[in-house]
Structure 1
């Protein structure tokens, strides 16, 4: 069954310097009110940055006439493709210290367009940086250094269609530049869904999810985009690669596993066959509160090691719960959610609540009744989750240090890791800023053998030194993670920011293998230089 063409939403301007929609950014009065809750921040917000302040130079290179219709040198487009959306990116833009602006932005529409651009770039010595929705928070879409004559940002968002749907196998062939909302909109008439909802869903693409092994909606079982991937089509400087559609295979190392998480260093993902689901009809959610975070962690582990498999199983420590408006009495809050397209799930929710109660958790009865305290906590968390990046940008304008980092570790090391992060990063932040810091923690994904803690750092900064301070705190955090053998990232990718820690985490033999693959597939070294491997 052929898919339909992507419908274009009403025009709405994206913020070139910050998260999301330009019209959704907080106003000056709101920024001041928010900053007032964090002593030591600026009296007034930093002004919004202007593209003109970047002094965008003329492109250092020109493409052949046969490719000219695919590229633009428009200063605003180039500025918007300069960096991702991490705190350090936002603060650099606010302080007028953006990185190297791409010489050109390319908008290919076919695999042949991409092959032509890669061939030209290899001959011209131009770096090609793949760009999906631009929501990278690890420096994955910016070029650093001066080893290449020019930089081209390869924006795939014109390749945005669901090309084919196999309802019998519950799968669809989808172009990699399709943004989350457009993807779901094209599947909806068929009663199907990919149901992969990262926080960046509105501003990220299928190709970006695949290239970064993104984590999404599900807290158990299908936690990463890998779990939904049936086959990939990739364009490399060496040629095209397309894996077979298979439900599973034991035929040697998987070609898809080489590309998943490769962050555009080995090739450009252009299409993927993705496993779909029927839209869930039955849903049930509730919250459970704990006076002891230790008890909450034990409850979380019991649920993760059961066969209940909740779709949502998110634990907020007291600080994170207060920040989200899910609790105001110092309690930790466990958000539970179950869903199914085929059968009621209330009994599974009830079993999960019983497990939580066995560890001194408290749930209101009935847990999912509209207007109940439990339902209110779930709604508060969901609203805060979607709004948080805009609040971060507002606090950044007030000169605050406000950023997150995440990891994954086995259950036996989880409590010690959380304590070490809170203590060591908190002390480092206090020393660097002269102000007390808040270090919150939430658990976003759980497995039978471990969990993924996600930390929020809040502190007043020093004017002009915010990025340097965050880099210092991130170094301290990375050392804590390394010492506890916790991964540098569970789902945020490596990019350039995590590269030093990734070099320490991966085995040397695998690094040599990856380097050999890079040299073979990208002989001119033009694909996203500086990410994953040199």
Structure 2
């Protein structure tokens, strides 16, 4: 299938037909006014500048200067990226897109770019929503996007230790297809799973399938190989070590600024065979939050523990509730999980929750009449996978539809939620006149939740990027002032830099800058991400 150069996913999977009519109908009901469709421009009409650099003969076969390649690698997949693509605003495009086939070629590419001072932007799957793959590299003689898609093999599987050595360019579905015959799974399913890579997950400390326990890709790493301009860093395979600071932790979350991840040994799991799930309605949001906290602190460790507030429940699950819906799921490859679900449901009942009729069932089983909340869970899961495609349609019709996320401790959540909600509403009032903000928990910990907010507002074509940037700045200020993190799993990139600079301790900033200088003396790796460009 053909990938969309301007938006999310595959062209064949774009929203159309009944889904399109129903989506636009909901938008018209919420946001009165004319909806005009703005279709993406042809790549030939973009007038991209000529490449400023030419690869040496030894690397020329790895590099593409085709306009379609360069346009598709100019932006990530954030709302502002999609809108700029729709408007033909590609101010920063890579001069070349390089696709190495092995680690030697990665090294050769870095050596050439280091000698010439050419910026190198590791691309992953290109699903960044924070400007992390955009070649904003002013002052450089050129920029090369490093696409690792050819390095996509599962090299070894250690069934005894339950681990696999995997190249960084593998996309989620291909990785799982290679592990499935062995009865194993990485069990890391971010929303971008189909269009993101292992290397991208590692470089951005991606959040995945599990709402508790194994929430980040960090938890699943055994060892890594990273090519830097100063040499190759290869950590030892170990289940754990107290030998000084972890070398892997230096590169996890480094977003391509310290080196290029080429492969990693990843911890695997047996594929789950036992499942049980339920949805629980709440009439009061504070009670729903308290129930979620009780479950997060119970040690039950559900695989899914996502709380949808009333607005999220209505917009994306089709259920009207006063407080919200909590979606619960447990899974195991070894033992029954219905007792764990029953206890979680009991905790919900203690806080006034109304569980679905199948709340104690094992996989495939439903008893009694399925409740609206149970149907809501399945509706929301389907909507979750279609959200990026639907976002593209809204962007084409000048509707602002974007998300942001954070994490905080439980004692700060009420104040943070209030501050962020008020900031978003005030900012929307200033630039769009109206709008809706939603909230859900994507992950929960014993000491705090990871709230994920959605913003939906009518925009003005030609101004929607500026309107969103105004809203984003307002909510980011509220997050920072309320003690939350600027990102729980979306990474820093270039867009979060102002708030990340405030969040990190100064001694750590100095140490990170020193590591950058030692590993990348010419400063060619993803300039402007995490640290100021030299």
Class of the TM-score when normalised by the shorter of the 2 chains: over 0.9
Q: CA deviation at 1:331?
A: 4.3
- Matches of 2:57 and 2:118, distance apart in 1: 17
Partner SS for 1:327:
coil
Q: CA deviation at 1:463?
A: 2.3
Q: CA deviation at 1:423?
A: 1.4
Where does 1:100-249 land on structure 2 (aligned, <5 Å)?
100-249=92-241
Contact map agreement 1:35 1:398 (CA 8 A) in 2: no
Aligned length: 522
Render the CA deviation track for 1:12-38: whole Å, top value 9, x for unaligned.
011111111112222486364354234
Q: Which moved more, 1:389-398 or 1:204-213?
A: 389-398
- Matches of 1:158 and 1:51, distance apart in 2: 24
Q: Which moved more, 1:370-379 or 1:494-503?
A: 370-379
The aligned residue for residue 403 of structure 1 is 402
The aligned residue for residue 427 of structure 2 is 428
The aligned residue for residue 9 of structure 1 is none
- Matches of 2:68 and 2:297, distance apart in 1: 50
Match of residue 487, structure 2, among 486, 489, 497:
489
Contact map agreement 2:222 2:264 (CA 8 A) in 1: yes
Q: TM-score, normalised by structure 1?
A: 0.96
Render the CA deviation track for 1:348-398: whole Å, top value 9, x for unaligned.
000000001000000133325447124312211110110111111111111
The aligned residue for residue 276 of structure 1 is 268
- Matches of 1:26 and 1:312, distance apart in 2: 27
The aligned residue for residue 81 of structure 1 is 73
Render the CA deviation track for 1:172-227: whole Å, top value 9, x for unaligned.
00000000000000001101000000000000000000000000000011000000
Q: CA deviation at 1:168?
A: 0.5
Q: Which moved more, 1:57-66 or 1:245-254?
A: 57-66
The aligned residue for residue 317 of structure 2 is 325
The aligned residue for residue 284 of structure 2 is 292
Q: CA deviation at 1:326?
A: 4.9
The aligned residue for residue 437 of structure 2 is 439
Render the CA deviation track for 1:381-435: whole Å, top value 9, x for unaligned.
110110111111111111011100000000001011111111121111011112x
Q: CA deviation at 1:75?
A: 0.6
1:241/1:41 CA distance change after superposition, 3 Å: farther
Match of residue 253, structure 2, among 261, 267, 289:
261
Q: CA RMSD in A?
A: 1.3
The yes-or-no answer on 1:462 pairing with 2:454 is no
The aligned residue for residue 55 of structure 1 is 47
The aligned residue for residue 16 of structure 1 is 5
- Matches of 2:33 and 2:59, distance apart in 1: 48
The aligned residue for residue 385 of structure 1 is 384
1:41/1:150 CA distance change after superposition, 3 Å: farther
Contact map agreement 1:178 1:206 (CA 8 A) in 2: yes
Q: What residue ranges of structure 2 are gaps of 5+ in the alignment?
A: none
The yes-or-no answer on 1:419 pairing with 2:418 is yes
- Matches of 2:522 and 2:268, distance apart in 1: 37
Partner SS for 2:401:
strand
Contact map agreement 1:41 1:398 (CA 8 A) in 2: no
- Matches of 2:32 and 2:168, distance apart in 1: 44
Q: Which moved more, 1:80-89 or 1:317-326?
A: 317-326
Render the CA deviation track for 1:330-352: whole Å, top value 9, x for unaligned.
44000000000001101100000
Q: Which runs of 4+ in 1 moved over 3 A?
A: 27-35, 368-371
- Matches of 2:197 and 2:327, distance apart in 1: 27
Q: What residue ranges of structure 1 are gaps of 5+ in the alignment?
A: 1-11
- Matches of 2:474 and 2:169, distance apart in 1: 36
Contact map agreement 1:230 1:275 (CA 8 A) in 2: yes
Contact map agreement 2:35 2:398 (CA 8 A) in 1: no
Partner SS for 2:355:
coil
Render the CA deviation track for 1:418-473: whole Å, top value 9, x for unaligned.
11111121111011112x21010001111111010000001001221100111111
